[in-house]
Chain A
Amino acid sequence: MNLRQAARILDQGRLDRQNALRLYKEADLLSLGQLAHALRLRLHPKPIVTYSVDRNINYTNVCVSGCAFCAFWRSRGEQEAYELDLETLRSKCQETLDLGGTHVLYQGGLNPQLDFSWHEQRLRLMRRMGLWVHGFSPPEILFMAESWGLSIRDLLQRLVDAGLCSIPGGGAEILVDRVRKKVSPAKGSSAKWLEVMREAHLLGLRTTATMMFGHIETLEERLEHMLEVRNLQDETGGFTAFIPWPYQPGKNTLQAPKAGAVAYLRTLAVSRLVLDNIPHIQASWVTQGPEVGQVALHFGADDLGSTMIEENVVASAGVSFRLCEKEMKELILRAGFQPRKRDVLYRPA
């Protein structure tokens, strides 16, 4: 399918399942890129690409979920199992502040040993130090609510009172139960993930949404995922950004051919086109490498994510990159855009 045919499909109005699938399957790479970039320029006319200076803090790697794709988790009692103590947390936060960071991405495993006061202490510490806490993906929230017998809303309210500011979109994987049952059976259904996000949005929390693709799901299921996110966004408007992540097969995790750069760019472009109501699409230089990350900025993405002062989860699958802020700015400049540091809500920082 060439550019004219692809553009004609878009001219029919908002992409429905069938038209989106036709584009995804049949349009050539550069047609998808051109249309996605055109939409990006309509939504964000200035040639600005945002980035964030922050670190991932993983408060524990103990996790009872046992997802097939994850190389990060450990069982309690294993030598490498850890729960982050306050002093280590404090020094990680200080380092973030010293490097010009404004927030932390705070996530961890589903660890039944940690009670509310354990989490509360840490949230309060991070807030006291002046950091915005972008924390707890929906599976963590569901796990805590269920463990402690709280409703999602009550739990969220308690976390917010302790200092939680916004929620990352992790754990979405693919929002189709057939897939979830196979790759992350303990993580809860697609409906539950969406319910957490709905409740969060209703409480005024902004969140992102991710998609981990390139394992056992079909193209149809990826689109199903995007449409679930789009529907909820129509309802609540609480998503700031969509972040498609290609699955990184590790040594001891679910084996699948690693999605190539063309598959990545096609998926990124289609997500820009389908998710017309989500303000930002984030490119993943961590999984793609800096060069393809730069190219992705011409395929619908308007954000290059984080400098990754610390990243553990993808690194445990053997993929490791980090950048200093100067390098991040240089990457964006040399991709043809003006770099702008942002906060979690995509405001200039």
Chain B
Amino acid sequence: MADSGLKRVAKKLEQGLRLNLEDGLSCLGTPDLVGLGRLALAKRKDMHGMKASFIRNFHLNYTNVCANQCTFCAFHRPQEAPDSFLIEPGEAARRILSSPVEPLREVHVVGGCHPGLDLGYYLGLLKSLKQARAGVNVKAFTAVEVDHMAAKAGISARECLIELKEAGLDALPGGGAEVFSARLRQLLFPRKPDARRWLQIHGEAHSLGIPTNATLLFGHLETPQELVEHLLRLREQQDGTGGFQAFIPLPFQARNTPLAHLGGPSGVEILKVIATSRLILDNFPSIKAYWVMLGTRLSQVALHFGADDLEGTIVHEQIAHEAGAETARGLTVEQLRGLIEEAGFQAVERDSFHRPLVEEQAS
């Protein structure tokens, strides 16, 4: 390892010390990609050995109508647009009933902040999904959507989460975090709740026993310092409330957005962010390589750079594909297992709560 910053990081890790802002910057700035990867791989092996997990899931986007109009997003539409849509709870249930993935373990539900929906819609959606498939877990609504529906209903986020949980909510996805930077929020997503609010809602969820994920949207206009600060704030929140299951770094998909000229991050930058996340987020159980945005090939490599989970079957991804993602919209269980095993890891099917599933005996 030729790089003195990375040497310092290695030494701190050896001593069991936590990494700080400067260390994070050394990780992101190192010319020694593979050296950084080795540190993250060692940490990942301590936590997960050579296992890499995935889930049989289904991504459902209930609406693309969104009042937030974020600059980096190619998914949102105004309500009057000819290609805007809203899926009623009954239709949502029909879709997951016809999902080709069996047995379906999880439905991942996110959508825009539709100005015309009231809390009853969301509760109805959850109930409908839970009824449609016995035993399926529903991971639904980013903190941004929770904030939106609570404000609309005139209740606190906590009250809202309690109602959602009663209607069947099992976990919150990690979207809407973007980058915890007031500067970038102003530039790119001024109508979204700020970092403090996003973290507060996740903290409330954790205190109610609702596990959550966290994301980072990177590779657009953020500085390395803003990126590392995002990780440090997540770590601090996790120290306090402990309910985060997975961190998912999302490489910016530029196409069809007003930021198309930025082009998105490089393969090297993506691996560095994954490795740095693994090292800084020492209290997050899982780091996901989200194959939809990384591509399946880079996801395989990412398993060697700190990631331990490949998300899941997904079936019909919409958001990243609106922004030009060239990956498949879904993968089969056989494809996921094949990708993991070919990369040199042991494939483990998990449930929504990141618990490994014991292989069911063929009958």
Contact B269 A295 (CB under 8 A): no
Contact A29 B344 (CB under 8 A): yes
The 3 lowest CB-CB distance pairs between A and B, nearest first, are A291-B267, A334-B266, A261-B297
Decide yes or no whether A47 CB sits under 8 A from chain B. yes
Chain A proximity of B157: nearest CB distance (Å)? 38
Can you name 16 A-B pairs with beta carbons within 8 Å? A28-B41, A30-B34, A30-B37, A34-B38, A260-B297, A262-B342, A288-B297, A289-B295, A289-B298, A291-B266, A292-B301, A294-B266, A295-B267, A295-B271, A298-B34, A335-B266
A288 CA / B297 CA spacing, docked (Å):
8
Contact B304 A30 (CB under 8 A): yes
Which partner residue on chain B sits nearest A299 by CB separation?
A: B34
Please encode chain B, from 316 to 351, with 1 for each CB lying within 8 Å of some chain A CB and 0 for all others: 000000000000000000000011001110000000
Decide yes or no whether B93 CB sits under 8 A from chain A. no
Decide yes or no whether B215 CB sits under 8 A from chain A. no
Chain A proximity of B47: nearest CB distance (Å)? 17
Contact B343 A290 (CB under 8 A): no
Contact A260 B268 (CB under 8 A): no
Which secondary structure dominates chain A's binding surface? helix
Decide yes or no whether A336 CB sits under 8 A from chain B. yes
A31 CA / B267 CA spacing, docked (Å):
19
A to B contact number (C-beta, < 8 Å): 85
Which partner residue on chain B sits nearest A263 by CB separation?
A: B342
Interface hits, B232-268 → A, CB 8 Å: 263, 265-268
Decide yes or no whether A293 CB sits under 8 A from chain B. yes
Chain B residues with a Cβ closer than 8 Å to the other chain, count: 27
- With A29-B344, A293-B267 already in contact, the answer to whether A261 and B301 are too (CB < 8 A) is yes
Decide yes or no whether A3 CB sits under 8 A from chain B. yes
Interface core residue of B38, B267, B271 (most chain A CB under 10 Å): B267
Contact partner of A33 (CB less than 8 A), chosen from B34, B268, B295, B300, is B34
Contact A261 B300 (CB under 8 A): yes
Please encode chain B, from 267 to 298, with 1 for each CB lying within 8 Å of some chain A CB and 0 for all others: 11111000000000000000000000011011
CB neighbours (8 Å) of B298 from chain A are: 261, 289, 291-292, 295
Other A-B pairs, 18, CB within 8 Å; known A29-B344, A33-B34, A335-B268: A29-B304, A30-B38, A34-B34, A260-B343, A261-B301, A262-B301, A262-B342, A265-B301, A288-B297, A291-B266, A291-B298, A295-B268, A295-B271, A330-B263, A335-B266, A335-B267, A336-B33, A336-B268
Contact A298 B269 (CB under 8 A): no
Contact A289 B266 (CB under 8 A): no
CB neighbours (8 Å) of B90 from chain A are: none
Decide yes or no whether B89 CB sits under 8 A from chain A. no
Interface hits, A1-31 → B, CB 8 Å: 3, 28-31
Which partner residue on chain A sits nearest B339 by CB separation?
A: A260
Contact A298 B344 (CB under 8 A): no
Interface hits, A258-291 → B, CB 8 Å: 260-263, 265, 288-291
A42 CA / B31 CA spacing, docked (Å):
15
Contact A298 B33 (CB under 8 A): yes
Decide yes or no whether B35 CB sits under 8 A from chain A. yes
Decide yes or no whether A187 CB sits under 8 A from chain B. no
CB neighbours (8 Å) of B338 from chain A are: 257
CB neighbours (8 Å) of A262 from chain B are: 300-301, 304, 342-344
CB neighbours (8 Å) of A257 from chain B are: 338, 342
A292 CA / B271 CA spacing, docked (Å):
10
Which secondary structure dominates chain B's binding surface? helix
CB neighbours (8 Å) of A295 from chain B are: 33, 267-268, 271, 298, 301
Interface core residue of A34, A290, A291, A331 (most chain B CB under 10 Å): A291
CB neighbours (8 Å) of A37 from chain B are: 34
Interface core residue of A257, A294, A330 (most chain B CB under 10 Å): A294
Interface residues of B (CB under 8 A from A): 31, 33-35, 37-38, 41, 263, 265-271, 294-295, 297-298, 300-301, 304, 338-339, 342-344
Chain A proximity of B51: nearest CB distance (Å)? 15
Contact B268 A298 (CB under 8 A): yes
CB neighbours (8 Å) of A3 from chain B are: 38
CB neighbours (8 Å) of B339 from chain A are: 260
A29 CA / B303 CA spacing, docked (Å):
11
A295 CA / B37 CA spacing, docked (Å):
12
Which partner residue on chain A sits nearest B39 by CB separation?
A: A30
CB neighbours (8 Å) of A330 from chain B are: 263
Which partner residue on chain B sits nearest A330 by CB separation?
A: B263
Chain B proximity of A75: nearest CB distance (Å)? 34
Chain B proximity of A320: nearest CB distance (Å)? 11
Contact A291 B270 (CB under 8 A): yes
Chain A proximity of B137: nearest CB distance (Å)? 30
Interface core residue of A29, A263, A299 (most chain B CB under 10 Å): A29
Chain A proximity of B276: nearest CB distance (Å)? 15
CB neighbours (8 Å) of B34 from chain A are: 30, 33-34, 37, 298-299
A293 CA / B300 CA spacing, docked (Å):
14
A15 CA / B135 CA spacing, docked (Å):
56
CB neighbours (8 Å) of A289 from chain B are: 295, 297-298
A297 CA / B267 CA spacing, docked (Å):
10
Contact B267 A34 (CB under 8 A): no
Contact partner of A290 (CB less than 8 A), chosen from B267, B294, B300, is B267
CB neighbours (8 Å) of A288 from chain B are: 297
Contact A34 B35 (CB under 8 A): yes
- With A298-B34, A334-B268 already in contact, the answer to whether A260 and B342 are too (CB < 8 A) is yes
Which partner residue on chain B sits nearest A266 by CB separation?
A: B344
Which partner residue on chain A sits nearest B267 by CB separation?
A: A291
A289 CA / B325 CA spacing, docked (Å):
13
A341 CA / B80 CA spacing, docked (Å):
50
A298 CA / B35 CA spacing, docked (Å):
10
